[in-house]
């Protein structure tokens, strides 16, 4: 009789524990999918994560950021893409003085840290690969996609 009762208690607590575990698992799962809803229906995304894209270069361009692959690129990515997109850098063209002044402005007003000995490398990389091109007072219309208009 006593054994039977103990067995029943044990069985019940095992069941309860199992339910508790299941509940925790399900709630955990819910929060997980709430935070990462793409995991629910994207195998591609998961696959992408396995491939190391960090150093992938194609035609001289760093795939992930769009930066030109050259000496100083890595340190530029490390220091210049924390707050803003690489796109804000790569769409601009400046001289060495211009890039320096921009860094100074970001340090004075935008919380950019002291770049230390990396500054020269970053400025050289930017001034070399993102230098201004003389455009004159008005450029030709370029990149026209011709199409037949009825």
Partner 1 sequence: MDRRNFTGKMSLVIMAGILGTDIVFGHSLPKDYLPLGLQDTDPFKLFKKDRQMVILNDKPWNIEAKAHLLNDKITPNEFMFIRNNGKIPQKIDAANWTLTIDGESVREKKIYSLKDLKTKFQQYTYQLTLECGGNGRSEFNPPAKGNQWTVGAVSCANWTGIRLRDMLNDIGYKSDAVYIGYHAADTHLSGDPTKEPISRGVPISKALQEETLLAFQMNGEDIPLAHGYPLRLVCGGWPASASGKWINRLSIRNEVHDGAKMGGSSYRVPCETVAPGAKVENSSMCIIESMPVKSLITTPKSGALIKMGNTLHIEGHAWAGELTVSKMEYSIDFGSTWQKCTLEKPINRLAWQHFKTSISFPKKGYYEVWARATDQNGKSQPMVLPGWNPKGYLNNACHRIAIKVV
Of 9, 12, 30, 57, the residue at the interface with partner 1 (CB under 8 A) is 30
Q: How far is the CB of 91 from partner 1 (least distance, A)?
A: 5
Nearest to partner 1 of 31, 71 (CB atom): 31
Integer CA distances (angstroms), 67 to 18, 64, 87, 106, 111, in order: 52, 8, 9, 20, 23
Interactions with partner 1, residue window 43-82 (CB under 8 A) = none
91 near partner 1, rule: CB under 8 A: yes
Q: Are 67 and 76 in contact (CB under 8 A)?
A: yes
Q: How far is the CB of 61 from partner 1 (least distance, A)?
A: 17
Nearest to partner 1 of 2, 138 (CB atom): 138
Collapsing DSSP to helix, strand or coil, 58 comes out as strand
98 near partner 1, rule: CB under 8 A: yes
Q: Are 112 and 106 in contact (CB under 8 A)?
A: yes
Exposed, middle or buried by CB within 10 Å (0-12, 13-18, 19+), for 89? buried
84 near partner 1, rule: CB under 8 A: yes
Q: How far is the CB of 10 from partner 1 (least distance, A)?
A: 25
Q: How far is the CB of 34 from partner 1 (least distance, A)?
A: 6
Q: Are 132 and 94 in contact (CB under 8 A)?
A: yes
């Amino acid at each position: 009789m006593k054994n039977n009762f103990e067995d029943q208690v044990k069985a019940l607590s095992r069941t309860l524990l199992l339910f508790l575990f299941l509940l925790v698992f399900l709630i955990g799962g819910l929060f997980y999918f709430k935070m990462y809803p793409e995991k629910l229906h994207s195998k591609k995304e998961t696959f992408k994560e396995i491939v190391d894209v960090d150093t992938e270069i194609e035609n001289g361009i760093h795939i992930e950021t769009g930066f030109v692959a050259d000496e100083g690129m890595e340190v530029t990515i490390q220091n210049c893409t924390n707050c803003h997109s690489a796109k804000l850098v790569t769409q601009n063209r400046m001289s060495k003085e211009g890039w320096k002044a921009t860094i100074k402005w970001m340090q004075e007003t935008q919380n950019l840290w002291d770049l230390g000995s990396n500054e020269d490398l970053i400025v050289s990389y930017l001034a070399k690969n993102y230098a201004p091109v003389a455009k004159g007072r008005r450029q030709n219309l370029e990149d026209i996609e011709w199409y037949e208009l009825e």
